[in-house]
Amino acid sequence: MVVVMKASATTAEIGNVMQRAEALGAQTQPIYGQDHTVIALIGDLTRVRRETFDAMAGVLKTVRIQDPYKLASRATHPEGTVINVDGIRFGGEEVVVMAGPCSVESRAQIIETAMAVKEAGASVLRGGAFKPRTSPYSFQGLGEEGLKYLAEAREMTGLPVISEVMTIEAIDMVAEYVDILQIGARNMQNYGLLQAVGKAKRPVMLKRGISGEINELLMCAEYILSNGNMEVMLCERGIRTYETATRNTFDLNAIPVLKRSSHLPVVADPAHGTGDWELVPPMSLAAVAAGADALILEVHPDPESAMSDGDQSLKPERFAELMGGLRKVAEAVGRKVASPGEQESVPIDADGRRAVLA
């Protein structure tokens, strides 16, 4: 860490900063510039916090040198992590396409959609059973009933399933039905929930909050990793900016930045990223070109009747068309789209739960 003193800082103030740093276990090295004195803190900084120094008299600002995350960092883990979900590999050479409706609305709807997305080539099924909604008066999801339908769709298609979990209490139950736990954007900094999924035995897809900095997303992943769950994927899903032509600003730059900073697989969510189904195909192609390891897409047999996010959902035939384009772009960047044929059907018990937990 570097502490920059004000031009007006007194010798006593400089001395105080050095003393305080040393009392906290750090070594100090002052550098006397033309206007400003700068104090470098090196050695053991475990007890050093920036705030301490930002609050001291004579200090202009502090500058952090090291990344605040460790387990998520590529510096400490140069090889990319590959997460294997029932034979589907995230973070490897193949690009994984996850698809399905925003919300599970009925048994028929999820099964029809699962069949359609598998036929088009998706290898993971998505579907929300618990829905965070801006309005308390909106449809909040089918809950456990929706999870049962998802599990049934998995048994019929062999596609692993991803679904959101919103509360600590629901983790165990959701984990019994699904293969990947999704943490939604609104919960990116719900630290209790992060710690709890850090102890779950399921891979986690963590979505970037609507105003999450990339560094913060990595710190949130750190909450999960440091609780023991090393299977974390990071998902870019659009940030909030001044631009209103798109619902959010889908920040594709995050993809190469995350790949450079971290070893974790990176997923792109162009449906939420743009909020506009017409933009989903070009932005999906762009995400793969930018290096995304996976896509998560919204497909609905009848978007106009969807109980949520119909405006950003593709019809099955458009999705199938997009899959064709994705295969070409994946190849152009030296990858290929993962195929759904490789995994086996996962049996469920009479209650719809996975017969055997991983």
The residues in 168-187 that bind its own copies, with binding defined as CB under 8 A, are 168-169, 186-187
Site for its own copies in 104-133 (CB under 8 A): 132-133
What is the three-class DSSP state of 126? strand
Site for its own copies in 224-263 (CB under 8 A): 226-227, 239-246, 249-257, 260
Distance of alpha carbon 136 from the chain centroid:
25
Of 243 and 344, nearer to its own copies (C-beta) is 243
Piece of the chain touching its own copies by CB under 8 A; list 64-72, 103-111, 118-126, 144-152: 64-72
> Residue 332's CB: how many other CB atoms inside 10 A?
11
291 binds its own copies (CB under 8 A): yes
* CA–CA distance, 225 with 237 (Å, rounded to integer): 21
Q: Minimum distance from CB of 318 to its own copies (Å)?
A: 12
Of 303 and 352, nearer to its own copies (C-beta) is 303
Return the structure tokens found at 51. 């705030």
For 32, the enclosing helix (H) or strand (E) is strand 26-32
Of 104 and 255, nearer to its own copies (C-beta) is 255
216 binds its own copies (CB under 8 A): yes
Site for its own copies in 293-332 (CB under 8 A): 303-306, 308-311, 313, 325, 328-329, 331-332
223 binds its own copies (CB under 8 A): yes
Return the structure tokens found at 7. 């031009």
* CA–CA distance, 209 with 200 (Å, rounded to integer): 21
Strands 204-207 and 180-183: parallel
What is the three-class DSSP state of 90? strand
Q: Minimum distance from CB of 347 to its own copies (Å)?
A: 32
Interface residue with its own copies among 191, 199, 228, 345 (CB under 8 A) is 191
Q: Phi then psi for 18, rounded to 5 degrees?
A: -65, -40
Site for its own copies in 23-62 (CB under 8 A): 29, 31-36, 38, 40, 42-43, 45, 49-52, 54-56
Contact 171, 182 (CB under 8 A): no
Site for its own copies in 338-357 (CB under 8 A): none
79 binds its own copies (CB under 8 A): no
Of 110 and 306, nearer to its own copies (C-beta) is 306
77 binds its own copies (CB under 8 A): no
Interface residue with its own copies among 15, 75, 342, 355 (CB under 8 A) is 75
Return the structure tokens found at 215. 């560094």
Of 51 and 344, nearer to its own copies (C-beta) is 51
Per DSSP, the residues of 288-305 read: HHTT-SEEEEEB-S-GGG
Q: Minimum distance from CB of 222 to its own copies (Å)?
A: 6
Helix axes 254-261, 214-225, angle to 10 degrees: 50
Beta strands in 68-172 (DSSP E): 83-85, 88-90, 94-100, 124-126, 161-164
Helix axes 280-289, 316-332, angle to 10 degrees: 20
91 binds its own copies (CB under 8 A): no
